């Protein structure tokens, strides 16, 4: 791999290696050579879990262990790491055997995620824990920004209800304030009222249920629980 290619990847990573041999090893898949990135991947995985766990512990002082575990799992899962790798265009730099190259291994989520972990391990060996922590947190910062202690796999009404219950607040009240359109093509307008907000939030949709979900999502944003981009 040329020096120019390595420099290009370093710029994408935001990190310059003291020992580029570690970087090259982190990019070497087992299909390419016997000496490959699997050990670095093991090390990087451990560092990633620790750094993310530490950051979540500090950012969410009221969170329970189960909530912290759920958030960490979201941040360290292969899908998230593969997103990072694609942002670095990591597939262009991987050292793969001919079989993996032909089968599109440079696009495979698991290979990209493993190489990302290996790079974390390589950075740790290159310059220590502080450098590894700084890069991990910088890479994941956009993902940290969207985190909430409310389970975003649930619908907005459920998330809002659970948020209010966790604070011993009254449950939200939904009211249909308008219905527009013909019977076969109606638009429902709903308001959501909760004690923690001075103003009601609104939602509209093709059914009352959809309109209530939209109003609940708006309430979560107004409460500062979610940022509207989840």
Q: How many helices (H) and strands (E) does the chain have?
A: 10, 3
Q: Which of 45, 114, 191, 212 is catalytic?
A: 45
Q: What are phi and psi of 74, to 5 degrees?
A: -65, -35
Q: Is 117 a catalytic residue?
A: yes
Q: Which of 117, 126, 191, 226 is catalytic?
A: 117
Strand intervals (E) in the chain: 173-180, 187-193, 201-205
For residue 188, list its beta bridge partners. 179, 205
Phi-psi region of 176 (alpha: psi -120 to 50; beta: other; left: phi over 0): beta
Chain-centroid distance, C-alpha 160? 21
| Residues classed as catalytic | 45, 117
């Amino acid at each position: 791999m040329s020096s120019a290619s390595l420099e290009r990847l370093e710029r994408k990573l935001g990190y310059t290696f003291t020992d580029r041999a570690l970087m090259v090893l982190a990019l070497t898949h087992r299909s390419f050579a016997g000496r490959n990135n699997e050990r670095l991947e093991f090390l990087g995985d451990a560092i990633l879990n620790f750094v993310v766990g530490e950051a979540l512990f500090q950012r969410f002082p009221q969170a329970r262990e189960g909530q912290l575990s759920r958030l960490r799992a979201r941040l360290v899962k292969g899908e998230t790491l593969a997103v990072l790798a694609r942002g670095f265009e990591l597939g262009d730099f991987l050292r793969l055997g001919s079989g993996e190259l032909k089968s599109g291994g440079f696009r495979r989520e698991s290979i990209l995620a493993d190489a990302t972990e290996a790079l974390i391990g390589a950075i740790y060996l290159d310059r220590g824990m502080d450098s590894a922590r700084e890069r991990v947190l910088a890479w994941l910062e956009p993902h940290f920004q969207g985190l909430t202690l409310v389970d975003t796999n649930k619908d907005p009404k459920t998330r809002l209800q659970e948020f209010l219950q966790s604070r011993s607040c009254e449950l939200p009240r939904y009211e249909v304030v308008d219905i527009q359109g013909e019977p076969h093509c109606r638009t429902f307008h709903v308001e959501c009222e909760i004690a923690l907000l001075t103003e009601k939030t609104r939602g509209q949709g093709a059914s009352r249920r959809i309109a209530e979900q939209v109003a609940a999502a708006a309430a979560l944003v107004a409460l500062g629980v979610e940022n509207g981009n989840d």
